[in-house]
Amino acid sequence: MRFSPDSPLVIWRLIDGKPGHEKQGRGLAEALGRHVAVKIHEIRANSPLASLTDWLLGRFPAGKGLADPHLLIGAGHRTHLGLLAARRARGGRAVVLMQPSLPLGLFDLCLIPAHDRPPARTNVIATRGALSTTRPSRQHDAGLGLILVGGPSRHFGWNSRQIAGNIAEIVHKIPNVRWHLTNSRRTPADFLGTLAQAGLPNLEILPFDTTPPGWLETELARAGQAWVTEDSVSMVYEALTAGCAVGLLRLPRRGDSRVARGVDQLIRDNWVTPFDTWQSDHPLLAAPEGFDEAERCARKILEKWFA
């Protein structure tokens, strides 16, 4: 379907039910909507086998009754075949976020984190981290700090006592800041209890399952600084996008992974401050002003196809 500035840009966003993936697709769609009128349809991704069948038969039943799309956006392996099926059946440009499980040439555009080392191709944009719904903010309060705690993963180990000790040192050394801390689904059960033993009066602990929708984005827009455990790479990039000065709580590594390489690049670029460097009285660093990957990618898409 041809695009006219007089009518909305129709976006079909395929979703797989994973919050991190959905945040990436929503972030790109919202960024596009800041420049042109958009009509966004969210479509639950089918199983890979059903999507493969739809692709081969040139059909996409999930789009019945919807206007033909200008853009198809998907994040997560479960959405890949669905993107191709929808494009064959109804047209539009297929945009995949993160490294796809299928050949890059099958998609019109691939937005792939630089730490995955994507090849230089006309249909590939290398991104700094994952896209998100976070927006740059000019309302940061130097008296408010945020601490985001993850947990063990494929790429990083964990030590609750060490992380709790690092956090206690930060909070003690900066007593004039009100600190808010939240954990994640991956945080070991013993961690919050270990931290509570430190008796930190200027630290408020808000478990992730008690925070309302949008809480993190609101906190990032307000906090003057944020400390993040390095396993939570998406949170690191969201804090950088918001414009926070970012400190990195180090964790033991499980080998030389792509995620760890991405963290190391942030350190080399002086975008984040590791805890051990901060202990030497180095100030917290922040990303260059205007860092917003969802916005940058949205502009490139509009210039490429809808100028």
Please tell me whether residues 128 and 148 are part of one structural domain: no
- 74-100 pLDDT tens trace: 999 999 999 999 999 999 999 999 999
Predicted pLDDT at 198: 85
Domain coverage including residue 15: 9-132+293-305
Whether 40 shows a pLDDT value over 80: the answer reads: yes
In a domain, 2, yes or no: no
Local structure of residue 235 (DSSP, 8 states): H
In a domain, 274, yes or no: yes
Whether 1 shows a pLDDT value over 70: the answer reads: no
Predicted pLDDT at 5: 74
Segment among 53-67, 148-162, 275-289 with least mean pLDDT: 275-289
In a domain, 252, yes or no: yes
For the chain, give the mean pLDDT: 94
Whether 150 shows a pLDDT value over 70: the answer reads: yes
* 77-91, 181-195, 274-288, range with greatest mean pLDDT: 77-91
Residue 264: pLDDT band (50, 70, 90) is very high
Tell me the CA distances in angstroms from 80 to 25, 83, 252, one per residue in order.
13, 5, 33
Please tell me whether residues 108 and 91 are part of one structural domain: yes
Please tell me whether residues 146 and 258 are part of one structural domain: yes
Predicted pLDDT at 255: 83
Predicted pLDDT at 279: 86
Please tell me whether residues 146 and 268 are part of one structural domain: yes
Please tell me whether residues 127 and 23 are part of one structural domain: yes
Please tell me whether residues 147 and 273 are part of one structural domain: yes
Least Cα distance to 115 among 291, 256, 281 occurs for: 256
Predicted pLDDT at 288: 87
How many other CB atoms are there within 10 angstroms of residue 185's CB atom?
Answer: 9
Taking residues 241-252, report their average pLDDT: 96
Please tell me whether residues 250 and 197 are part of one structural domain: yes
Please tell me whether residues 195 and 151 are part of one structural domain: yes
Please tell me whether residues 268 and 166 are part of one structural domain: yes
In a domain, 193, yes or no: yes
CA pair distance 221, 240, nearest whole angstrom: 11
Residue 6: pLDDT band (50, 70, 90) is confident
Place of tokens 């050949």: 103
Predicted pLDDT at 307: 83
Residue 302: pLDDT band (50, 70, 90) is very high
CA pair distance 295, 32, nearest whole angstrom: 8
Residue 282: pLDDT band (50, 70, 90) is confident
Predicted pLDDT at 286: 85
Taking residues 46-55, report their average pLDDT: 96
Please tell me whether residues 271 and 297 are part of one structural domain: no
CATH number where 128 lies: 3.40.50.2000
Please tell me whether residues 54 and 158 are part of one structural domain: no
Looking at the structure of the chain, the number of domains it has is: 2
Contacts of 184 (CB under 8 A, 6+ apart): 148, 149, 150, 151, 208, 232
Please tell me whether residues 61 and 101 are part of one structural domain: yes
How many residues would you count in the chain? 307
